[in-house]
Structure 1
């Protein structure tokens, strides 16, 4: 796609997160994405899961309230010329390291679709002049059901213009978005549904990953310092007790695999365990289905312990 009794929890040391990479989603209503947050919702999720610390920037904020990062510069109904008239101020204000530009849809049914490639070229030149060190990803636009030939002509014209800028040393990267979204994912013929936006997010994500530094480097947790474990006794009876352990990933990077260690009271052994695999007294590793934890995510495992004496657990450690 791209060219150019409850036991106390013990928290281990977590690597300090790097400064987030400022990414500006730039364009029209397809960037704004309506109430579902457009491609920005799934793209943010993919980047965080890949250990990328990014901050979407812009003067607007849209999407569901649960969306962690809602900022952007997607202006519904805007043409290339309208973005061009405002982009320098936005770049000065938000200083993005990376720009994601999808623009031209509204020009396709305007008065001069034939001049749109020239206008886009001038806009990209303005962006690279104002922010020469930023990576500027410029995509072909997605289909329009009732103007497909016009869209295809526009996309065919802009690709060589953009590639020439990259060949001249500008940090301009072409992303072929057009084939990513089928017309069947455009309920009104213009704007994607959630499935279409998710496909756009995948294409952006793959393009960003292909350019080193465009979204920083994945955060690597320090050895032995990637998760926390909170253990508690949830029930007891004469001859045993039940306990539950919550494993949490507090880092900015996705966690793949975890190991929790704790000890049982003398004479107790684990008689049954779910949500993990146990060995020793006691080491529990993740089950196949719960080993991957996104940033901030948690999972639990539980067990039954048999033995005499009061129920208790040591402080649990996690790595």
Structure 2
């Protein structure tokens, strides 16, 4: 009869062997042990996502996320980039078309369960047999992604230029933007990212793939888009202290609305700075802001003249948001310095 100790060891070994790839392959952005609940981000696309030996935009995007204090785990079945790159996982498949990604994406989503998806795809369709049908194929791909992962934020970018197919790329980009915005207006967590103007042809040595400078520019665009959507890369580190923020819509019109946020100090001591985070409906973006400063992390901080709030006093900042759908502001969080 086997001993209880041997039985226990056998059960433990079976458990370890049963760990799913999504867990066994997990990496962190800082190379250390995984922190609590990292946000799982899937870079998805073709060779421009894979990025060759330099790691593409993923190298600088990871650095920007770490500098912003975000805990993010890039996920996917592939791993590329320099050995020193802290997080090398992705789903960027060189040479692949929209249809090829479509044929595999459900399995990837089930395996790696991303919270956020960065999709840049369509370049290989531009010099294929049916570039005119590419917008329709992309629309179907995004529908498949949102059906399989309805809780994920899906950032879909226009594709960067191709030196020898610029007119075709421009036509594709012009066609996909309204399709994607319609999905966002219907309540899907789809976000349009305009990547085309970020990378000049001079940063494409072969006319298709960026050099390090071009990939760095892509990283900046991705980072700014992620930072503008609360929760997509977790919450930014909050300063200490306590304050409250109360938002309200003060006016609306077709295509946008105006709102204001009242920041209150409910404590017995003055505060000398504040940071507010709030969510907007899908498809909306802040186009004007007063009484505060956008800091690039999806938050608003005080202006130089209204950071100090006396006990039981308040200040107000306002903004205009543009986009389709109903006017609304989600619950706002406030932290004081």
Q: TM-score, normalised by structure 2?
A: 0.61
Alignment of 1:53 onto 2:59:
no
1:188-203 matches, cutoff 5 A: 188-203=206-221
1:150 to 168, 177, 180: 168
Q: What are the residue-to-residue correspondences of 1:4-83 with 2, within 5 Å?
A: 17-83=35-101
Structure 2 Cα separation of the partners of residues 63 and 17 of structure 1: 23
1:1-319 counterparts in 2 under 5 A? Answer: 17-220=35-238
Q: CA deviation at 1:19?
A: 1.2
Q: 1:18 Cα deviation (Å)?
A: 3.5
Q: Post-superposition shift, 1:218? A: 2.0
Separation (CA, whole Å) in 2 of partners of 1:107 and 1:36: 24
Which whole-Å CA distance do the structure 2 matches of 1:161 and 1:91 have between them?
22
Q: CA RMSD in A?
A: 1.4
CA displacement, residues 14-44 of structure 1 (integer Å, 9 cap, x when unaligned): xx94310000000000000000000000000
Counterparts of 1:98 and 1:183 in 2: how far apart (Å)?
A: 29
Which of the pair has more CA radius of gyration? 1
Distance 2:238 2:69 in 1: 8
Q: Deviations over 1:96-143 (max 9, x none)?
A: 000000000000000000000000000000000000000000000000
Spell out, residue by residue over 1:29-81, the C-alpha distance to the aligned partner (whole angstroms, 9 max, x if none).
00000000000000000001001100000000000000000000000000000
Q: Given that residues 39 and 197 in structure 1 are in contact (C-alpha distance below 8 angstroms), is that contact kept between their aligned partners in structure 2?
A: yes
Contact 1:53 1:219 in 2 (8 A): no
The alpha-carbon deviation at position 166 of structure 1 amounts to: 0.1
SS of the counterpart of 1:19? coil
SS at match of 1:41: helix
SS of the residue corresponding to residue 64 of structure 1 reads coil
TM-score of the superposed pair, with normalisation by structure 1: 0.64
Q: 1:150: how far off? A: 0.1
**Matched residues in 2 for 1:47 and 1:22: separation?**
13
**Structure 1 unaligned runs (5+)?**
1-15, 224-319
SS of 1:124 mapped into structure 2:
helix
Match of 2:269 in 1: none
The equivalent residue for 1:258 is none
What SS does structure 2 have at the residue aligned with 1:99?
strand
Cα deviation per residue 1:187-245 (whole Å; 9 max; x = unaligned)? 0000000000000000000000000000001235889xxxxxxxxxxxxxxxxxxxxxx
**Counterparts of 1:27 and 1:220 in 2: how far apart (Å)?**
33
For the Cα contact (< 8 Å) 1:24–1:73, is it kept in 2? yes
Between the aligned partners of 1:91 and 1:113, the Cα distance in structure 2 is 26
